[in-house]
Structure 1
Amino acid sequence: MKIVAIRHTSVAVDPGICYGQTDVPVANSFQKEKDTVAAEIDGVLFDKMYSSPLTRCKLLAKSLFEKEKIVFDDRLKELNFGDWELQSWDEIYADPQGKVWMDNYQNLPALNGESYPEMVKRVAAFLDGIKHEKYNCVAIVAHAGVIRILKSLIDKQPIDELFKTFKPEYGSVTEFKI
């Protein structure tokens, strides 16, 4: 099965702000970025389309697959950063609890939020579910964190390496084969 993972387009949030599962609006560049993604996947025949239900993904999925049924799945949401949603990363790091978390983000949960292992578990459950389907090609519109986890699970790469080497850009397309 081929998986075409599409990261949502740019968001209307200042740089350096943590927004995780907050339902933020898309940037004014949406149409241009959507057109670029559409051109990149033009001609690909998808058996099924999945998307995070957050607006930044949902809007892109609905725009790309206007006449298709899209499955919106909560397991494809970005990490829930809890109390740190919509704070700047600098503010989070300046907070003693935030610093402890940032120094061990792969194990500890965000303050009143989710841990990275919890997110990996839900993305892995999604992936395990679609592996049993007889699809040739699926589209997944999601977030950078979800796409990194997919890469880690499918390509068997340590996630800590991927945080340094694999940074899906807004409106990017990443293909996997399972």
Structure 2
Amino acid sequence: MDLILMRHPRPDVPGNVCYGRADVLPKEDTLEAATRQMCSRVLATLSGARRPVAIHTSALLRAQRAAERMAFEFQVPLLVDERLAEMNFGAWEMRCWDDIARDDLDAWAQDVCGFSPPGGESAREVVLRMNAWARALRSRVSSASEVHVAIAHAGPIRLHTATALGLPTTTCLTWPLEFGHLCHLHVADDGRARLIRWNA
């Protein structure tokens, strides 16, 4: 199976604001163009006449709005799954990063996998739900040639990529992944993956 994980288009929120599970909207004035570019990126990473068999998406609107348009463009099912959501930052949600206590941010940096913001979730919890989603997807795949596209979020995409490649959890956290760009993995039946493209 080929799995293409795409970061959602740019949301309508300032860049210095912490947003994770907050359901911020995509920038409406650029959404159509961004979605067309995302479709083009999917086709550019595939060989021959291959096309997605389904578009999967986080339930958060910044992902789902683009996924709806992509599913229509490719004429394939749209599958919404809460497990593809961004990390829940709890009490930090929609606060400026500069307003979050330095001690809390330092505690996070010292334990990236295990630390949870107050009322939020840890990176380890994100890994577990992303892995559960990926296992469920693999169990439904009927052909090794299938292509599945998931519109999700930078954190979960980076964390899942590290897990799928058999790397330490935090390996990919600093890898740049721009809005509307993709990670292309070829996934074996056992879940181990080979990275085809990153930030394409």
**TM-score, normalised on structure 1?**
0.91
Asked if residue 87 in structure 1 is aligned to residue 95 in structure 2, the reply is yes
Which one of the candidate residues 115, 121, 129 is aligned to 1:114? 121
2:33 corresponds to which letter in structure 1? K
- The Cα of 1:44 is off from its aligned counterpart by 4.0
Q: 2:111 aligns with which of 104, 107, 115?
A: 104
Q: Work out which of the residue numbers 58, 64, 75 in structure 2 matches 1:52.
A: 58
In structure 2, the residue corresponding to 1:35 is in which secondary structure? Answer: helix
The alpha-carbon deviation at position 93 of structure 1 amounts to: 4.2
Between the aligned residues of both structures, percent identity stands at 24
Asked if the contact 2:159–2:170 (Cα under 8 Å) also holds between the matched residues in 1, the reply is: no
- Cross-structure match for 1:148: 158
SS in structure 1 of the partner of residue 113 of structure 2: coil
Partners of 1:155 and 1:24 in 2: CA distance = 31
Structure 2: which 5+ runs fail to align? 44-48, 188-200
Aligned residue pairs: how many? 176
C-alpha displacement of 1:173: 1.7
The amino acid that maps onto 2:91 is D
State the Cα distance separating 1:68 from its structure 2 match.
2.9
**How far apart in 2 are the matches of 1:154 and 1:55?**
26
Q: Which residue of 1 aligns with 2:83?
A: 75
Q: Which residue in the other structure is 2:179 paired with?
A: 170
Gapped runs of 5+ residues in structure 1? Answer: none
Residue type matched to 2:117 in 1? A
Query: TM-score with structure 2 length normalisation?
Result: 0.82
The 2-side partners of 1:44 and 1:146 are apart by 26
Letter in 1 for 2:177: P
- Structure with larger RCO (C-alpha < 8 A, sep 6+): 1
Bigger fraction of residues in strand: 2
Structure 2 residue aligned with 1:30: 31
